[in-house]
Protein backbone atom coordinates (compact mmCIF):
# COMPACT_ATOMS: atom_id res chain seq x y z
CA UNK A 1 0.00 0.00 0.00
CA UNK A 2 1.37 3.42 -0.96
CA UNK A 3 0.83 6.38 1.30
CA UNK A 4 0.46 9.97 0.20
CA UNK A 5 3.14 12.30 1.57
CA UNK A 6 1.87 15.65 2.78
CA UNK A 7 4.43 18.42 3.10
CA UNK A 8 3.91 21.92 4.36
CA UNK A 9 6.17 24.76 3.29
CA UNK A 10 7.34 26.83 0.37
CA UNK A 11 9.87 24.39 -1.09
CA UNK A 12 8.40 24.21 -4.59
CA UNK A 13 11.63 22.92 -6.10
CA UNK A 14 11.30 19.79 -3.98
CA UNK A 15 7.63 19.58 -5.02
CA UNK A 16 8.68 19.64 -8.69
CA UNK A 17 11.15 16.82 -8.05
CA UNK A 18 8.51 14.73 -6.23
CA UNK A 19 5.99 15.43 -9.00
CA UNK A 20 8.49 14.37 -11.66
CA UNK A 21 9.19 11.13 -9.79
CA UNK A 22 5.45 10.44 -9.50
CA UNK A 23 4.94 10.96 -13.24
CA UNK A 24 8.02 8.83 -13.99
CA UNK A 25 6.69 6.03 -11.78
CA UNK A 26 3.31 6.20 -13.50
CA UNK A 27 4.80 5.86 -16.98
CA UNK A 28 7.30 3.21 -15.86
CA UNK A 29 4.43 1.06 -14.58
CA UNK A 30 2.76 1.24 -18.02
CA UNK A 31 5.79 0.41 -20.12
CA UNK A 32 9.57 0.23 -19.70
CA UNK A 33 9.86 2.26 -22.92
CA UNK A 34 8.84 5.39 -20.98
CA UNK A 35 11.82 5.28 -18.59
CA UNK A 36 13.62 8.58 -18.12
CA UNK A 37 17.41 8.76 -18.48
CA UNK A 38 18.16 8.88 -14.75
CA UNK A 39 17.47 5.57 -13.05
CA UNK A 40 16.51 5.43 -9.43
CA UNK A 41 14.87 2.88 -7.19
CA UNK A 42 13.23 2.73 -3.78
CA UNK A 43 14.42 0.02 -1.43
CA UNK A 44 11.74 -1.51 0.75
CA UNK A 45 11.80 -0.44 4.38
CA UNK A 46 10.16 -1.34 7.67
CA UNK A 47 9.82 1.13 10.53
CA UNK A 48 8.76 0.04 13.98
CA UNK A 49 8.65 1.72 17.35
CA UNK A 50 9.38 0.50 20.87
CA UNK A 51 9.00 2.56 24.05
CA UNK A 52 12.69 3.57 23.83
CA UNK A 53 13.45 3.84 20.12
CA UNK A 54 12.38 3.88 16.49
CA UNK A 55 14.00 1.25 14.27
CA UNK A 56 14.32 1.54 10.48
CA UNK A 57 15.18 -1.61 8.56
CA UNK A 58 16.10 -1.13 4.89
CA UNK A 59 16.51 -3.95 2.38
CA UNK A 60 19.53 -2.90 0.29
CA UNK A 61 20.93 -6.15 -1.10
CA UNK A 62 23.82 -5.59 -3.49
CA UNK A 63 24.74 -2.19 -2.02
CA UNK A 64 28.18 -1.88 -0.44
CA UNK A 65 28.40 -0.34 3.05
CA UNK A 66 30.60 2.46 1.71
CA UNK A 67 27.88 3.35 -0.83
CA UNK A 68 25.29 4.01 1.92
CA UNK A 69 24.67 7.31 3.70
CA UNK A 70 22.39 8.08 6.64
CA UNK A 71 21.49 11.66 7.60
CA UNK A 72 19.31 12.57 10.56
CA UNK A 73 17.56 15.49 12.18
CA UNK A 74 15.43 15.36 15.29
CA UNK A 75 12.27 14.57 13.23
CA UNK A 76 13.49 12.86 10.02
CA UNK A 77 15.99 10.38 8.64
CA UNK A 78 17.33 10.29 5.06
CA UNK A 79 18.83 7.08 3.72
CA UNK A 80 20.57 7.23 0.35
CA UNK A 81 23.01 5.19 -1.65
CA UNK A 82 23.90 3.51 -4.91
CA UNK A 83 23.62 -0.05 -6.19
CA UNK A 84 25.89 -0.69 -9.19
CA UNK A 85 24.56 -2.75 -12.10
CA UNK A 86 25.02 -6.49 -11.77
CA UNK A 87 26.87 -8.71 -14.21
CA UNK A 88 25.28 -8.84 -17.66
CA UNK A 89 25.60 -11.80 -19.96
CA UNK A 90 27.27 -11.09 -23.29
CA UNK A 91 25.07 -11.72 -26.31
CA UNK A 92 22.19 -12.54 -23.97
CA UNK A 93 18.57 -11.70 -24.58
CA UNK A 94 16.83 -10.85 -21.35
CA UNK A 95 13.32 -12.20 -20.93
CA UNK A 96 12.83 -10.55 -17.54
CA UNK A 97 14.80 -7.74 -15.85
CA UNK A 98 13.24 -6.66 -12.53
CA UNK A 99 16.26 -5.94 -10.35
CA UNK A 100 16.70 -2.20 -10.01
CA UNK A 101 20.06 -0.45 -10.00
CA UNK A 102 21.33 3.08 -9.58
CA UNK A 103 20.89 5.79 -6.96
CA UNK A 104 18.19 5.79 -4.32
CA UNK A 105 17.06 8.18 -1.62
CA UNK A 106 14.33 7.82 1.01
CA UNK A 107 13.27 10.55 3.42
CA UNK A 108 11.30 9.25 6.39
CA UNK A 109 9.49 11.57 8.76
CA UNK A 110 9.40 10.31 12.32
CA UNK A 111 6.37 10.29 14.64
CA UNK A 112 8.31 11.59 17.67
CA UNK A 113 11.50 13.63 18.23
CA UNK A 114 14.69 11.59 18.44
CA UNK A 115 18.05 12.23 20.08
CA UNK A 116 20.59 12.66 17.22
CA UNK A 117 23.43 11.93 19.65
CA UNK A 118 22.10 8.40 20.29
CA UNK A 119 21.69 7.00 16.79
CA UNK A 120 23.36 3.81 15.60
CA UNK A 121 23.46 2.16 12.19
CA UNK A 122 24.59 -1.33 11.24
CA UNK A 123 24.79 -3.21 7.96
CA UNK A 124 24.59 -6.99 7.64
CA UNK A 125 23.39 -9.51 5.02
CA UNK A 126 21.93 -6.84 2.74
CA UNK A 127 19.99 -5.05 5.50
CA UNK A 128 20.70 -1.62 6.95
CA UNK A 129 19.37 -1.17 10.49
CA UNK A 130 19.14 2.34 11.93
CA UNK A 131 18.24 2.68 15.61
CA UNK A 132 16.97 6.09 16.66
CA UNK A 133 16.68 6.74 20.40
CA UNK A 134 13.62 8.76 21.37
CA UNK A 135 14.11 12.02 23.23
CA UNK A 136 12.94 11.63 26.83
CA UNK A 137 9.90 13.66 27.73
CA UNK A 138 9.85 15.78 30.87
CA UNK A 139 6.69 14.29 32.37
CA UNK A 140 7.51 15.19 35.96
CA UNK A 141 8.29 18.82 35.23
CA UNK A 142 5.48 21.13 36.30
CA UNK A 143 5.58 24.76 35.26
CA UNK A 144 3.35 27.52 36.56
CA UNK A 145 2.08 29.88 33.93
CA UNK A 146 1.54 33.48 35.01
CA UNK A 147 -1.85 34.93 34.14
CA UNK A 148 -1.88 38.56 33.08
CA UNK A 149 -4.76 40.95 33.42
CA UNK A 150 -6.73 42.28 30.47
Domains of the chain by residue range? 8-38, 41-84+101-136
Which of 58-62, 93-97, 142-146 has the least mean pLDDT? 142-146
- pTM equals 0.65
The dotted CATH code for 41-84+101-136 is 2.60.40.790
Task: Give 112's contacts (C-beta < 8 A, 6+ positions apart).
Answer: 49, 54, 134, 135
What are the tens digits of pLDDT across the range 72-97? 887 889 999 999 988 877 888 888 88
Amino acid sequence: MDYIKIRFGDDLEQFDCDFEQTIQGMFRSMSPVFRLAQRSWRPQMDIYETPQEIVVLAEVAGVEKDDLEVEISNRAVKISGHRPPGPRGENATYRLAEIQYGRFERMLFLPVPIDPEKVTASFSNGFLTVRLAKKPRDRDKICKVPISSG
